[in-house]
Structure 1
């Protein structure tokens, strides 16, 4: 996990530079694809995901080394050919894992966060799950295990394969000629994120689009059907923690409410969106029927509040970067506590973004807890060994969180009530 944290220490700034470049380009050409609240929500989702992954939270049901040990037909030496074969095997596994996520109710919960934005930009790429608590991805790597591809090759290529999917989440790049027949492009991925009937569950490949063409899930972007983005059951929140478990909560409620015991069991494994007949009638859920005419989720906000949530997001990012930098020294127990502060931070300011009154109390509690921890330990997880006034800076941040939570919580509430 420490190696993964070190990789993210360099990858995160790179992603943010590209994201900043997209925002700047959109402003220059007067075709902005970002809005503050949506992008903050998307980036915050990415922050929660990397905290979860870097802390190793979850249960791994089966590992790749296990399959490699018992299924390998040959013992492959590491050559350049092995690296290529391994990358293709990863891409093949990604296609089928992705397809499963789009077609089975339970697994859609772990992927819905990625589709939850009603915009399409690089911030969407950062909408990654924290609800994938059961690790079973290795099952899709059985072909790689049969070929005897070494575990360290897979471990190195896996984050590379994931990071390589970042760039094509943009509306600023059109079709790319002959590359459309080789790799996944922005045009193809716009189709994938669209909720137009002709685009649903299409273009599931990660890097090479050959899998979609081979298995019948390819769809070209059509000029007379501009992609509309989001999910058919709109999330109606900026809070990425809530979005991560929203679909799962609906499944739990439907399984509890239905009178049919068979439906209580099969709801988890039915096609995405399926609901028991009795529950569907008695407890209807909002579904978008006209994709070209629906109201995107938005909350009335002042410019000052937008800058406040941006500053809160950047503060959480700074805390994460320090955690990665000092990962080994903080220790296992400290990392869990540290991660909890960041998680609550993300939950707090995105709850304020929704205009929910509980956001004030969450921010006040977190701020007081952070200040209390600094006073009790005399430091903030060793930051003073690098910067003598580091814990004072972090304490000031927590104080500003308390004051900002109260001020903006009450101010934005009045703004909402005035509409």
Structure 2
């Protein structure tokens, strides 16, 4: 937990810098629009994912350590070969977990967040799940367990394997020659993120593309079929916490509404997107049928709102950095309180990004809890050594509520206010 937090202290600013560099390159050189809200939504999703991972908010039904202890038939000594085997085993496991997430209704919920951006950029790589609390697929690491690769080696290699999947989320790198036959490249992964019928549910590999070619899920990027990105049932929100549970909520409602007991049971294990016939007819949901003619999700945002959203995002970044630096000092159960506060912070400011009038209620709740935490914990002990920081935080919590109130009152309420009747001139 603490070690992973320290790794993220180094990785987070690097990822943030690379995301901004790519966006600036696209805007300045390639004349691409700078879709700030989409980018901030993606990076805020990254916040929630790393907090979940650091807090260890998931359990495995079958642990890797147990598999090694009981099923190993050979033990590889700790050499470079051990790490190579672990890397390949993780990639093999990742392919099948990834593929099943695309092919089975229930498991799609944990992966939909990653595809929910209608852009394909380095920021969307950070859209990772918080909705998976139980790991069912440790069994796919069986090859490594049989060879006796220790869980310590897997723990070292796993973050490297994850971080190595960041770079290929970009439209600015074309095909890469011979590497196209070996590793997952940006071209391969553009196909994977596309909603074009030719590309759906292809290229599930994470580092090596060989798995897709072996198991029949490979699709080359076609020069006459430009990829269109997103999910066929658009998220229609910038709030990553909502996106994480949208598909699950649809499954729950469909299972409740269908009159067929058979459908109530099988809906969870049917192919992704399947719905009971009676529910689909009575309760249709918005779906993109033509990927070349649909309107991307966008919300109105004044310069002032954009600046304020950036401030909220960066302030949350500072809070996360303090958290990761002081996990041991904060201790249990306060680390879960702190993590919950970060989740609430992200929820509140992304509701404002969505121009939801209830953003004020969420922001007020967050800031009230923040003031209480200062009073009850001295902001998790920081006030004992740096009293001025608690004053800064207190001022922020008060001003953030007032600022959000101003945006809701003078800007967002206009969206729902009745418009004056137009008077038409007559000749």
**Is 1:411 matched with 2:420?**
no
Q: CA deviation at 1:341?
A: 1.0
Q: Deviations over 1:192-216 (max 9, x none)?
A: 0000000000110000111111111
Preserved CA contact (<8 Å) 1:195 1:230: yes
Aligned to 2:132: 132
SS of structure 2 residue aligned to 1:321 = helix
Q: Deviations over 1:90-109 (max 9, x none)?
A: 10000000000000000000
SS of structure 1 residue aligned to 2:333 = helix
SS of structure 2 residue aligned to 1:44 = helix
Aligned to 1:384: 383
Aligned to 2:77: 77
Q: CA deviation at 1:388?
A: 3.9
Preserved CA contact (<8 Å) 1:68 1:145: yes
Aligned to 2:395: 396
Aligned to 1:280: 280
Matches within 5 A, 1:19-418: 19-32=19-32, 34-377=34-377, 379-385=378-384, 387-417=386-416
Preserved CA contact (<8 Å) 2:357 2:413: no
Preserved CA contact (<8 Å) 2:383 2:389: yes
Preserved CA contact (<8 Å) 1:72 1:145: yes
**Cα distance change, pair 33–166 in 1 and its aligned pair in 2 (3 A):** farther
Q: CA deviation at 1:34?
A: 4.1
Which stretches in structure 1 are left out of the alignment for 5+ residues?
none
Q: CA deviation at 1:33?
A: 5.8
> d(CA) in 1 for partners of 2:50 and 2:394?
24
> d(CA) in 1 for partners of 2:272 and 2:233?
11
> d(CA) in 2 for partners of 1:272 and 1:392?
50
**Cα distance change, pair 317–212 in 1 and its aligned pair in 2 (3 A):** same
Figure out how many residues of one structure are paired with residues of the other and give that number: 418
Preserved CA contact (<8 Å) 2:345 2:366: yes
> d(CA) in 2 for partners of 1:59 and 1:153?
19
> d(CA) in 2 for partners of 1:37 and 1:81?
44
Aligned to 2:423: none
Q: CA deviation at 1:118?
A: 0.5
Q: CA deviation at 1:385?
A: 4.8
> d(CA) in 2 for partners of 1:327 and 1:213?
43
Moved more, 303-312 or 381-390: 381-390
> d(CA) in 2 for partners of 1:341 and 1:8?
19
Preserved CA contact (<8 Å) 2:102 2:201: yes
Which stretches in structure 2 are left out of the alignment for 5+ residues?
420-427
Preserved CA contact (<8 Å) 2:60 2:138: no
**Cα distance change, pair 381–296 in 1 and its aligned pair in 2 (3 A):** same
Moved more, 66-75 or 100-109: 66-75
Moved more, 281-290 or 104-113: 281-290
> d(CA) in 2 for partners of 1:221 and 1:34?
25
> d(CA) in 2 for partners of 1:292 and 1:386?
57
Q: CA deviation at 1:383?
A: 2.1
Moved more, 66-75 or 380-389: 380-389
> d(CA) in 1 for partners of 2:385 and 2:175?
48
Q: Deviations over 1:394-417 (max 9, x none)?
A: 222212221122111223314534
> d(CA) in 2 for partners of 1:164 and 1:255?
38
Q: CA deviation at 1:132?
A: 0.8
SS of structure 2 residue aligned to 1:332 = coil
* Bigger Rg, which one: 2
> d(CA) in 1 for partners of 2:232 and 2:267?
18
Q: Deviations over 1:247-294 (max 9, x none)?
A: 000000000011111110110000000111111111111110110000
Q: CA deviation at 1:29?
A: 0.3
> d(CA) in 1 for partners of 2:149 and 2:269?
32
